[in-house]
Amino acid sequence: MKRFHVHVVVPKLDESVRFYSSLFGVEPRVLKDDYAKWMLDEPRINFAISARGGETGVNHLGFQVDSDEELAELRAQVVAASVAVEDQPGAQCCYASSNKYWTQDPAGVAWETYHTLGGIPVFGADSRQASMSESGGACCAPTAQVAADNEAKKGCCG
């Protein structure tokens, strides 16, 4: 079963944790110095915030799935629509190990679809992801090539 995912970059984590905990009526399931995540059942959402630099606001949207089979089904659906994807099997990001893929919508909003395999003790462990987070970007996000590939695939209806 899919769970909608939203990741927002915030300027002050403690203020945002207080706000979202009040809004959702529960404390975050994961709370680190730079990251917090709520796993809500009503509505079914994985809502994460981070304070690691970067532009404040929605960082990316996505779907969390329960199995690699469901991940493969959703990936096939996107590819069948001629949308470019970037696969990240075994990604080490946001305190979790996951199999995932990324794409971008026509407005440039990043979309992540992933199956979480387990937790890790750091925000990002991959060298590519670590360097992106140090520069203020997302710890794991699609490359500019995904946007370029999607732009190139626009046909009569793009």
Please state the rounded mean pLDDT for residues 67-94.
92
pLDDT value, residue 53: 77
Check pLDDT > 50 for residue 131: no
Residue partners of 150: CB distance under 8 A and separation at least 6: 83, 84, 103, 104, 106
User: 93: how many CB neighbours lie within 10 A of its CB?
Assistant: 26
- Give domain 3-149's CATH architecture: Roll (3.10)
Question: Tens digit of pLDDT for each residue in 98-127?
Answer: 999 999 988 889 999 999 998 887 777 653
Regarding beta strands 96-104 and 110-119, do their DSSP bridges make them parallel or antiparallel, or are they unpaired? antiparallel
